[in-house]
Amino acid sequence: MNFYYDFDIEAVFNWVKEDFILKHSASLVNNPWYDYDIEIDLRLVKQALMNGNFEFLYVVRDHGTMLLLLSEFHSSKYLDWEGSDNFDYYHCKIISKQSISLSKKAAGELLDRGPLLNSFSAGSKNSYLKEILEFVNNKGFNYSPAQSLFDCQRIGDELNLPSMSNFIERVKNHMLCMN
């Protein structure tokens, strides 16, 4: 999938690297996994930019970092581990170069929200539904592809992913407003 953007991807990437990731992870520089964590985080950001994904949650733990793209389905349970109340949580909006410090509760709510709908075209209901099903099926959750929104809801329930359930509810509401 090719995207056209009216911004310099390299400049945005450098902002995320210098003014966000390296800044927020500076306290971990002596951690043995620091270089590896940063390399993975930067690789995820570069791939996200190339794929048109512009938001992520960044968790700075006492022993490393975790970057969760908000274009994926996650659960707030990913944030439940020992000491997680003392970690730092940041919501990064890449294109607008904004980062917001969050509480653990707010970070969990952000993860449970699921992907935003603005990355999908608003053609006919059928083309929109096809695009949504393709999006969910490309995530590789299940051996049998979802054929309907009901299947997507079932997969979300089976995998205990509130983000998928919330996403599908927003899709249903959006489709009610379509012609």
Tell me the pLDDT of the chain (179 aa) as tens digits.
445 556 688 888 999 999 999 999 988 988 888 899 999 999 999 998 888 888 999 999 888 899 999 988 888 888 887 768 889 999 999 888 899 999 999 999 999 998 887 667 767 888 888 888 888 888 877 667 888 999 888 888 888 888 988 999 888 988 888 76
pTM: 0.81
What pLDDT, on a 0 to 100 scale, did the predictor assign at position 90? 96
Q: Running DSSP on this structure, what letter comes out for residue 17?
A: I
What pLDDT, on a 0 to 100 scale, did the predictor assign at position 60? 92
Judge contact between 41 and 64, C-beta under 8 A. Answer: no
What pLDDT, on a 0 to 100 scale, did the predictor assign at position 126? 84
Q: Which residues contact 125 (CB under 8 A, 6 or more apart)?
A: 175, 178, 179
Judge contact between 73 and 167, C-beta under 8 A. Answer: yes
| Distances 168 to 79, 116, 122 between C-alpha atoms, Å | 22, 11, 16
Judge contact between 59 and 66, C-beta under 8 A. Answer: yes
